[in-house]
Structure 1
Amino acid sequence: MTEPDRRTAVRIREARASEGDAVAGLVAAAFADLPLHHWLVPDPDGRASVFHRWFRLILDHALAHGSVEVTDDLSAAAAWLPGEAPPLLLSDTLLEWCCGPWWERFRAFQQGLDRLSPPPGEHTRLELLAVRPARQGQGLGRMLMARRLATAHARPIHLEAPTQAAHRFYLRHGFTDNGTPLTIPGSGTRLFPLVSATARAPLTAEL
């Protein structure tokens, strides 16, 4: 269903399966400067193509088992999974195809995320929230988040913020810290686990 945001006339809708490549491109562009991504793929020439494939895997899984919401002009996207959804199965062969010579870093990163994630149950996971660089700071991420929070009811939303700025963003939107941040040695990066509900079970992971 397409839904306009009355304050700015931005339209938010479900992504179409045919838009997977376009949405993966916007997510890769939005996260291009993350220190974590520079650690995961040290080669600047290969980084964009690796992350396009990586996010396409994540988005296809969300489209199959959850939902992907986008602004109508594909400037921003959010991918959501219910806590009952099956995990994304990443074999070594698939990771090597997707991530090239850096696939073992992605494997270690994903294993750390798995330790942070709550067990299957009645909650929702925010897999990603991304806004094109040229549209950042215009409230699109806030609109996507507010739309989901308004319909979440009693289901807590879990996520991991990849930067301190993102951590502050989610705290402003009513999330609370949910355990010790995930430390990634050598990357200069920590991931901050957060949850939208007041009742929470802190999780700790060290990579």
Structure 2
Amino acid sequence: MGVAIREAEGNDRELIVRLLDDAFQNDPVSRWVFPGEEHRRTTHHRLMAAFTGIVLAEGRIDVTEDGSACALWLPISPGRHSTAEDPDGAARLREAVDPGNERVERVARLMAEVHPVDRAHEYLWMIAVAPARQGEGLGTALIREVIDRCDREGQPAYLEASTARSAKLYERLGFGFTNRAVDLPDGPRMWPMWREPR
């Protein structure tokens, strides 16, 4: 049986933020951005809300019909970064989310340095599956929804994997490393990955 997927709307915002917050609380990058557990518990959701707002305005969020998984996609034009990766956007993001935390801005700037923008592509900014539903293929179904379209339209796709485990999943879907890892200072590594259309 297939996974029912629909495009999120404005009234799905709270659901998406909660899903992202739950799924990424213990992600290595989130732990680096918000190193204190209590601070992360009380602040992390603001970053997820900011991301959700950007993608609702500029891109597309796909969500499973049961609300257990979502994928945030941004169309990237040649020569253009996403709002959060733009230098001014990264500073505004920090100010809105956690003004005293330079890591909010720094991670966005580091990601922008390796994000290829010489060709139009679909950018999988984030994908989240409720912790209790991980391993059921929901993330794969969400990604396939867009990469199948990319294949039909001859468009590449891009993402940054935040764990070696997720990188393996993306490899199975045709993504390959760009050979420009992001090493967060005294923190984890992120693997930028690119997929040519098939």
Following TM superposition, where does structure 1 have runs of at least 4 consecutive aligned residues deviating by more than 6 angstroms?
none
- Who is 1:171 aligned against? 171
Q: CA deviation at 1:49?
A: 3.5
Q: Secondary structure at the match of 2:180?
A: coil
The alignment-based identity, stated in percent, is 29
Q: Deviations over 1:68-111 (max 9, x none)?
A: 00001211000111112763153645513312432x01111111
Given that residues 83 and 120 in structure 1 are in contact (C-alpha distance below 8 angstroms), is that contact kept between their aligned partners in structure 2?
no
Given that residues 62 and 80 in structure 1 are in contact (C-alpha distance below 8 angstroms), is that contact kept between their aligned partners in structure 2?
yes
- Who is 2:28 aligned against? 35
Q: Deviations over 1:118-175 (max 9, x none)?
A: 1264211111111010110111001001111111131100110001001111001111
- Aligned partner of 1:96: which letter? E
- Who is 2:192 aligned against? 193
Q: Kindly tell me: are residues 94 and 31 of structure 1, through their superposed partners in 2, closer, same or farther at Cα, counting changes over 3 Å?
A: closer
- Aligned partner of 1:167: which letter? A
- Who is 1:114 aligned against? 112
Given that residues 93 and 104 in structure 2 are in contact (C-alpha distance below 8 angstroms), is that contact kept between their aligned partners in structure 1?
no
Q: Kindly tell me: are residues 23 and 120 of structure 1, through their superposed partners in 2, closer, same or farther at Cα, counting changes over 3 Å?
A: farther
- Aligned partner of 2:13: which letter? G
TM-score (norm 1): 0.85
- Aligned partner of 1:147: which letter? E
- Who is 1:87 aligned against? 82
CA distance in 2, matches of 1:57, 1:64: 11
Query: Which sections of structure 1, spanning at least 5 residues, go unmatched?
Result: 1-6, 200-207
TM-score (norm 2): 0.88
CA RMSD of aligned residues (A): 1.9
More off after superposition, 45-54 vs 105-114: 45-54
Q: Kindly tell me: are residues 13 and 99 of structure 1, through their superposed partners in 2, closer, same or farther at Cα, counting changes over 3 Å?
A: same
Given that residues 90 and 109 in structure 2 are in contact (C-alpha distance below 8 angstroms), is that contact kept between their aligned partners in structure 1?
no
Q: Given the alignment of the two structures, is residue 54 of structure 1 paired with residue 54 of structure 2, yes or no?
A: no
- Who is 2:59 aligned against? 66
Count of residue pairs brought into register by the alignment:
190
CA distance in 1, matches of 2:175, 2:68: 24
CA distance in 2, matches of 1:113, 1:185: 13
Q: Given the alignment of the two structures, is residue 147 of structure 1 paired with residue 140 of structure 2, yes or no?
A: no
